[in-house]
């Protein structure tokens, strides 16, 4: 098949439009989760939880955080691997749930703690949904880790039972997930065979990205082993092999300005961000303060089809302020760009019910 030839600008426009960040905004939460193929669950509140921020970037002030909570509690969404997905996609994940313990290397630990696992399931079956704080640690073999999960037997067993399809997340109390039996939450749907499910999920990922690197590792935490889908593409002046969703090649594009979460769909593949957008960015929340360049939780700024800068900001809920420490301009903003960015900052802070307090610009 002859590869499609596109300019870098056109490739960016395809990517931005596919991520629902063009001037043509989506209509509802479920449509967003379906079209983006997932909604990242990241509860860091330096600015706002990732799922809330991503939805606000598409829906604006129409979105309320309670909408995702209701989607989960009402069975319209399900969570897996810290990502929300449409319940209509459940069948695409059942085969992976069934084989997860073997693929993850946790089968031995689960079997060594079979009585512990059964006790958790029985407790939830008899008493209803629970958080990790409601579950006593009855493990006979501790969770083996040299990191922060060492000996966190309850949370690790809940995660194992979740990823293997026996428990489902039905809500949260603060940062704690609320667990129920999957059989009481998930509808009965046919299991899509693993190879077919991987192909369909690869197609969903491509549709959400519009154009992506031809690599099995474009989003390993989301789908390990992407299969070739769509059609080959050559991006003028950009190295590497690419795949494009042909349905998105001829769509018109009108851009807008958006303040993005670091976990936004547009930012999923760092190599794509560098090659397509020529954007220098790193999430620095885990770096020592003295070694940060952009700030603890810098927000990428999208303007049209370009990523043009970062906003180093923090939500200070105690003082009711959205503290903008610095606006990093990759290239000096013209008057129109600065006005659009300022308006977006004000709109975001207003949605957060915070007042903007500004610092520097560079």
pLDDT tens digit string along 90-148? Answer: 999 999 999 999 999 999 999 999 999 999 999 999 999 999 999 999 999 998 865 55
The arithmetic mean of pLDDT across residues 71-88, rounded, is 94
Give percent of the chain with pLDDT exceeding 70.
97
pLDDT of residue 22: 98
For 271, list phi and psi in degrees, rounded to 5. -70, -35
Across 218-222, 276-280, 318-322, least confident range: 218-222
Q: Flag whether pLDDT at 150 surpasses 60.
A: no
Confidence of residue 164 (pLDDT cuts 50, 70, 90): very high
The band of 225, judged by pLDDT with boundaries at 50, 70 and 90, is confident
Compute the average pLDDT of residues 338-360.
Answer: 94
What is the model's pLDDT at position 221? 85
pLDDT of residue 236: 96
Which residues have CB under 8 Å from 166's CB, separation 6+? 121, 181, 182
Q: Is the pLDDT of residue 360 over 60?
A: no
47 phi and psi angles, rounded to 5 deg: -120, -65
- Give the pLDDT mean for 228-234: 96
pLDDT at site 359: 74
Q: Tell me: pLDDT of 250 over 80.
A: yes
Query: What are the pLDDT digits (tens) for 174-224?
Result: 889 999 999 999 999 999 999 999 999 999 999 999 999 999 888 888 888
The residue-averaged pLDDT of 1-23 equals 96
Identify the band that residue 362 occupies on the pLDDT scale cut at 50, 70 and 90: low
Helices (H), the chain: 8-18, 29-36, 50-59, 66-73, 94-104, 107-112, 114-127, 153-163, 182-185, 194-209, 270-277, 335-351
* Rounded-to-integer distance, Cα 231 and Cα 1, Å: 8
Quick one: average pLDDT of 50-57?
96
Q: What is the pLDDT of residue 144?
A: 80
Q: Shortest CA distance to 39 belongs to which of 50, 47, 28?
A: 50
Percent of the chain surpassing pLDDT 90: 88
């Amino acid at each position: 098949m002859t590869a499609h030839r596109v300019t870098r600008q056109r490739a960016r426009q395809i990517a931005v439009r596919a991520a629902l960040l063009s001037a043509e905004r989506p209509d509802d939460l479920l449509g967003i989760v379906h079209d983006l193929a997932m909604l990242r669950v990241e509860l860091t509140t330096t600015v706002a939880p990732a799922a809330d921020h991503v939805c606000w970037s598409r829906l604006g002030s129409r979105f309320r955080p309670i909408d995702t909570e209701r989607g989960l509690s009402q069975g319209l969404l399900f969570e897996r691997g810290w990502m929300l997905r449409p319940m209509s996609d459940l069948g695409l994940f059942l085969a992976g749930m069934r084989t997860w313990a073997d693929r993850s290397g946790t089968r031995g630990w689960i079997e060594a703690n079979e009585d512990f696992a059964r006790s958790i399931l029985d407790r939830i079956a008899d008493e209803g949904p629970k958080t990790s704080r409601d579950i006593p640690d009855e493990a006979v073999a501790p969770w083996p880790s040299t990191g922060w999960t060492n000996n966190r037997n309850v949370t690790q067993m809940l995660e194992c039972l979740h990823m293997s399809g026996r428990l489902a997340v039905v809500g949260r109390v603060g940062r704690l997930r609320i667990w129920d039996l999957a059989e009481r939450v998930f509808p009965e749907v046919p299991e899509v065979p693993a190879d077919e499910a991987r192909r369909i999920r690869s197609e969903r990922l491509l549709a959400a990205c519009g154009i992506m690197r031809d690599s099995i590792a474009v989003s390993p935490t989301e789908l390990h082993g992407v299969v070739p889908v769509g059609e080959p593409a050559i991006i003028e002046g950009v190295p590497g092999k690419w795949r494009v969703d042909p349905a998105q090649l001829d769509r018109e594009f009108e851009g807008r300005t958006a303040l993005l979460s670091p976990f936004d769909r547009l930012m999923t593949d760092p190599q794509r961000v560098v090659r397509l957008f020529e954007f220098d960015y790193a999430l620095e929340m885990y770096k020592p303060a003295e070694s940060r360049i952009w700030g603890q939780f810098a927000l990428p700024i999208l303007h049209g089809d370009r990523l043009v800068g970062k906003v180093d900001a923090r939500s200070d809920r105690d003082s009711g302020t959205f503290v903008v420490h610095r606006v990093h301009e990759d290239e000096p903003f013209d008057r129109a760009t600065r006005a659009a960015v300022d308006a977006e900052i004000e709109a975001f802070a207003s949605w957060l019910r915070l007042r903007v307090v500004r610092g520097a610009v560079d």
